[in-house]
Structure 1
Amino acid sequence: MTTVTQMKCACETCLCVISLEDAIQKDGKPYCSEACAEGHSGGAGCGHTGCGCG
């Protein structure tokens, strides 16, 4: 049996792969940042290098 420890951020436009233990959980989905978890309501991206979500 394999345990999944990393997953892509649940934000569709985000490219980040995150550790599930470090993820921000919202509605049962893992996000890499508050910006992604909030649906980029303020227009901010996650701020991670190489990722242009937002």
Structure 2
Amino acid sequence: MAATLEKVKCACSTCECMVSPDKAIEKDGKYYCGEACANGHADGSHGCGHPGCTCGG
């Protein structure tokens, strides 16, 4: 029987997105939904590119 991975919340504290660990960006043992979140919105960006999400690190 194959294991099923459930979605987890993006590790970005202000992001509301859920992401499958096998499709996430892993950084420092945490799972992120995209590069902007994984990089802590270092460029000052708001949002992660997913519709309706306005996270901003």
Note whether the superposition's TM-score is higher than 0.5.
yes
Deviates more, 1:42-51 or 1:6-15: 42-51
The runs of 5 or more residues in structure 1 that have no matched partner are: none
* Contact 2:32–2:38 under 8 Å retained in 1: yes
Q: How far does residue 50 in structure 1 lie from its aligned partner after superposition? A: 1.0
Question: Given that residues 5 and 21 in structure 1 are in contact (C-alpha distance below 8 angstroms), is that contact kept between their aligned partners in structure 2?
Answer: no
Shift in Å, 1:43: 1.5
List structure 1 segments (4+ residues) > 2 angstroms apart after TM superposition.
2-5
Q: CA RMSD for the aligned pairs?
A: 1.5
- Identical-residue share of aligned pairs (%): 60
TM-score (norm 1): 0.87
5+ long unaligned stretches in structure 2: none
SS of residue paired to 1:30: strand
Q: Is 1:22 matched up with 2:15? A: no
The structure with the largest strand share of the pair is 1
Amino acid at match of 1:52: T
Do residues 8 (structure 1) and 5 (structure 2) align?
Answer: no
The letter of the residue matching 1:33 is: G
Q: How many residues align?
A: 53
